[in-house]
Structure 1
Amino acid sequence: MTISSYGGEPKHSIDSDHTRLHELGYKQELNRNLSVLSNFAFSFSIISVLTGVNTLYSTGLNFGGPVSLVYGWVIAGTFTMFVGLSMAEICSSYPTSGGLYYWSAKLAGQSWAPFASWITGWFNVVGQWAVSASVNFSLAQLIQVMVLLSTGGMNGGGYEASKYVVIAIHGGVLLSQAILNSLPISLLSFLGQIAAAWNIFGVFLLMILVPLVAKERASAKFVFTHFNTDNGVGIHSEVYIFVLGLLMSQYTLSGYDASANMTEETKNAAKNGPKGIILAIGISLIAGWCYILGITFVVTDIPYLLSPDNDAGGYAIAQMFYDAFKSRYGSGVGGIVCLGVIAVAIFFCGMSSLTSNSRMAYAFSRDGAMPFSAFWHKVNKQEVPINAVWASALIAFCMALTSLGSIVAFQAMTSIATIGLYIAYALPSFFRVTLARKSFVPGPFNLGRYGVVVGWISVSWVATISVLFSLPVRYPITDKTLNYTPVAVGGLLVLVVSSWIFGARHWFKGPITNIDHSSSGDA
């Protein structure tokens, strides 16, 4: 891994960033005000250990328990770092808000560029919308559980919100995040740094406080060696169970492409964009493993925590925190406060996700790939892509509306948040190690001779999880137990390819310059 510079000269100034962007075909329209810390903060806040782990902790408990949680995190995290390193190397060479789809276009070669750009861009932008939808829906569900526990719990006549109340909360959360994302990037950057600090603070507070308060704790042997095979869904193969337990880790470790999407607003982007990606993954790996270890010491009865008849309605983390404080103080209020810490982290995660969404939509529409592109890439006086912000919030809300018809339909929609997004992550790396193996010109951050090896490992891992997470998760298989992930992702693939064949191939030419060559002031 080396740090070099374009043309032998280091590029530290804003003018150099503008020049590099000009070389890539774009004029500077967004306010370049982000430091490496701010760039990192957006990706770190989207990965958000407190969001992903707490949302799918029940899945990890059910499929393998502590072994899947503790060791699955290490395995998924290690391979995620390979994916991130490969992306970081490409980001350094092409630091634009378009990120993944722009990289694919440049790496696939002139003849394949339009199609490579089209398929990568749509998987990326739809995957990001799905992330915003799933993250904010999980926050709405957590708020509902907090209200339930605050009013007595399932067994004490507590208030259980209807699905319409949950979707209304989801809409209110998205509305507030869209308002925040309408602020100038300097203010949003400050909020992003607060979000990163809150995530770190929350992780270490909860991993120490909750086990300390709990009167009953699991043994180290249980945490590091217990493998739960009693999942109640007809799956008995330990390998199969462990694979399904990986979903929590892989779902959490996504969204770090935000650092690439924010590069046109980042100083010294060719170095700081890649640093943002790697730092976000690396710090999340360490913080996440510590958090998983800490809270798993509170697990003493897995069937009880997963039971829909407990006070939290089967929300394992909520029940764990509630019981820990109730056993010590006779009241679960402290546990509800801890859930509030998680809720704030999830809110910040959704806010940062919407930021990344809007920049991706702005860039993709700038190249004419989206319907009504002229509307999507409008930038206001504060140099914020305001229409992309509000449109992305609206689409995320509409995706969550599927939960009103069927929670299965919503789960299928949000499965794109993991598999669909990772497919978009892998495509540029695939083109880099195949079509562009000899022509790729690295930027200041590069992996040297290991770049191709790392690229192949990342592509192979994404191909593997795409298959594994499409496997059935319950037997016997019926319309209510079918894993709709391959249906959702396959459906998206069919739509994207069909739209290309029957329309876009005639007019979409890939990334296009927006520089007026008749003037010299754009750079």
Structure 2
Amino acid sequence: MENPIQISAADAGGPYYPLRNHDDVSVSDDSRLNQLGYKQELSRSLSAIANFSVTFSIVSILTGLTTTYGTGLRYGGPLTIIYGWPIVGVFTLIVGLSMAEICSAYPTSGGLYFWSAKLCGKHWGPFASWLTGWFNIVGQWAVTTSVDYSLAQLIQVIVLLSTGGKNGGGYEASKYVVIAIHGGILLVHAILNSLPISWLSLFGQLAAAWNLIGVLVLMVLIPTVAKEKASTEFVFTYFNTDNGEGINGKAYIFVLGLLMSQYTLTGYDASAHMTEETKNADMNGPKGIISSIGISIVFGWVFLLGITFAVTDIPYLLSDDNDAGGYVIAEIFYLAFKSRYGNGVGGIICLGVVGVAIFFCGMSSMTSNSRMVYAFSRDGAMPLSSFWHKVNKQEVPINAVWLSSFIAFCMALTSLGSLVAFDAMVSIATIGLYIAYALPIFFRVTLARKSFIPGPFNLGRYGILIGWVAVLWVAIISVLFSLPVAYPITEQTLNYTPVAVGGLLILTVSSWIFSARHWFIGPITNIDS
């Protein structure tokens, strides 16, 4: 380790919070960071709006809902989509509230793994930090991989529709072309993330505005343009049991359809990872978490409502033989304009709006991802740690940015061998990441129930109750989303989520037992004196 003081930063932080005033916010933030064991290395220039914008663009309604709408339509259809979203939204907000409370107490870029170390104390802290950190960082890599790969797929679909569609002999890109597009997107995102944080702040706010305006425009435009519209009864009451996957039982079908909502409502830990670059971090970090979830819930439900009114033929939309090659949202947009104007050019333009949102989502995802790499390597938890946490003259963790880009590309390479393997890997983006969310909350309501000292933002006497509900929800979805999604179960239909998440757990625990327990002591202070 290159750190001159080998003491745990998790033990350095005390309950003291400096008094704030309008002229001394940055000094107060820096003082609190020093108390937690770290010196200020990143540029602290993000406002509350900027912090929220980065996180909101990662949650990105347009990204999550457009790429997984077919899942909701297949498993339950309109009823699952319209009612499942607010159900998942409420429980996600509960998880977010618990995270926000802990974030206020410990506003560091390390986020979840630092929280676990602090909440578990000297004995269990290092292992808890190791486990949480690796689930968090691998989950973030999976998110970046998934988002940028989905953009590559959307670009391929836009080209397909622009050249006549599948049924008109349009151009269908091979998997090698898709992976090349994916690599190009990652390259652009790495270059953008090499810019000063002030530029990323501007892009983040533009991304947030793009998502909000895009949702409002598309939810009104698509059903308005479509000649044939679904009835109100269909949108609010129709339950699709014909999923073509051999799944029976309405409750079973309904919970499988919830994956659409839960996949979308993730990534809000970004506000915590950006706290060392955020002013008034112990309040604005928590606000970023909560506001990004709350606004996403409202705008997401409005978007789903509008789009579902344009759904009239579920079997055709779910078919791989439609013009968009099975990409449900693309086909809905394309058919809406084609039915009115005789061509789907307007639908293709609308897909471009979605594509820009996904681009911003991937960019912000890499921002958050790189900050986690920076913090985790700063504490010596990664191979070649001293290299990955280097900060350049613009106060950007440049090596962490390019590492995140490279790993996201490598993870996507599994798609060349098997889409089943790729899907299993990116499943960590939902379940693996939520396990990382739940671990510090679990430690807060158990081991640190009496010792936890809250920051300026806290849940008061309801903190324990809300925390337990959050942990219970993560446990439930971890089981539900590991269930088979098709019968009979074969190599191609098996849900590999438990294999991927279980494999990550085995690797993390094994590396701890055989190696890390001998040298990793948790977060390490980098203050010289």
TM-score by length of 1: 0.97
Distance 1:472 1:59, change over 3 A: same
1:9 counterpart = 2:22:
no
CA distance in 2, matches of 1:94, 1:166: 41
Contact 1:25 1:513 in 2 (8 A): yes
Does residue 229 (structure 1) correspond to residue 235 (structure 2)? The answer is no
Residues 261 and 356 in structure 1, CA contact (< 8 A), matched pair in contact too: yes
Which of 405, 409, 412 in structure 2 is aligned with 1:393?
Answer: 405
Q: In structure 2, the residue corresponding to 1:33 is in which secondary structure?
A: coil
> Conserved in 2, the CA contact under 8 Å of 1:86 and 1:455?
yes
Is the counterpart of residue 329 in structure 1 residue 345 in structure 2? Answer: no
In 1, Cα distance between equivalents of 2:63 and 2:28? 37
Q: In 1, distance between residues paired with 2:347 and 2:426?
A: 28
Q: How many residues align?
A: 513
Equivalents in 1 of 2:84, 2:177: separation in Å?
35
Kept in 2: contact 1:6–1:444 (CA 8 A): no
SS of the residue aligned with 1:347?
helix
- Find runs of 4+ consecutive structure 1 residues off by over 3 angstroms: 5-12
Equivalent position amino acid for 1:479 in 2: E
Partner SS for 1:108: helix
Aligned residue among 97, 100, 109 for 1:88 = 100
Gapped regions of structure 2 (runs ≥ 5): 1-14
* Residue 56 (1) aligns with residue 68 (2): yes
Cα drift, residue 190 of structure 1: 0.4
Question: What amino acid does structure 2 have at the position aligned with 1:134?
Answer: S
Contact 1:67–1:224, Cα closer than 8 Å, also in 2: yes
Quick check: 2:18–2:31 contact (8 Å CA) kept in 1? no
Match of 1:27 among 39, 50, 73: 39
**What are structure 1's unaligned runs of at least 5 residues?**
518-523
Matching residue's letter, 1:68: T
| Cα deviation, residue 9, structure 1 | 3.2
In 2, the alpha carbon distance for the partners of 1:477 and 1:11 equals 62
Post-superposition shift, 1:10?
3.6
Deviation at 1:120, TM superposition (A): 0.1
Structure 1 Cα separation of the partners of residues 471 and 511 of structure 2: 25
Give the corresponding residue for 1:343. 355
1:163 paired to 2:175: yes
Alignment-derived partner of residue 521 in structure 1: none
- Kept in 1, the 8 Å contact 2:18–2:28? The answer is no
> Following the alignment from structure 2 to structure 1, what is the Cα–Cα distance between the partners of residues 406 and 92?
30
Which of 499, 503, 509 lines up with 2:515 in the alignment?
503
1:430 is aligned to 442
One-letter code aligned to 1:439 = S
- Asked if the contact 1:41–1:195 (Cα under 8 Å) also holds between the matched residues in 2, the reply is yes
CA distance in 2, matches of 1:70, 1:201: 21
3-state SS of 1:254 partner? coil
Q: Match for 1:95: what amino acid?
A: P
Alignment of 1:116-515 (within 5 A): 116-515=128-527
**Conservation of the 8 A alpha-carbon contact between 1:11 and 1:268:** no
Q: Describe the SS at the equivalent of 2:527.
A: coil
- In 2: Cα distance, 1:10 partner to 1:439 partner: 25
Matched to 2:175, the amino acid is: K
Cα distance in 1 for partners of 2:88, 2:291 equals 16
Aligned partner letter, 1:378: K
Give me the whole-angstrom Cα distance separating, in 2, the residues matched to 1:106 and 1:292: 40
Quick one: distance in 1 between partners of 2:486 and 2:162? 33
Listed one character per residue, the Cα deviations across residues 407-457 of structure 1 (whole Å, up to 9, x for unaligned) are 000000000000000000000000000000000000000000000001000
Kindly provide the CA deviation profile for residues 489-509 of structure 1, in whole angstroms up to 9, marking residues without a partner as x: 000000000000000000000
1:67 to 79, 82, 85: 79
- Equivalent-residue separation in structure 1 for 2:317 and 2:432 (angstroms): 31
What CA RMSD, in Å, does the superposition of the two structures yield over aligned residues? 0.9
How many percent identity over aligned positions? 76
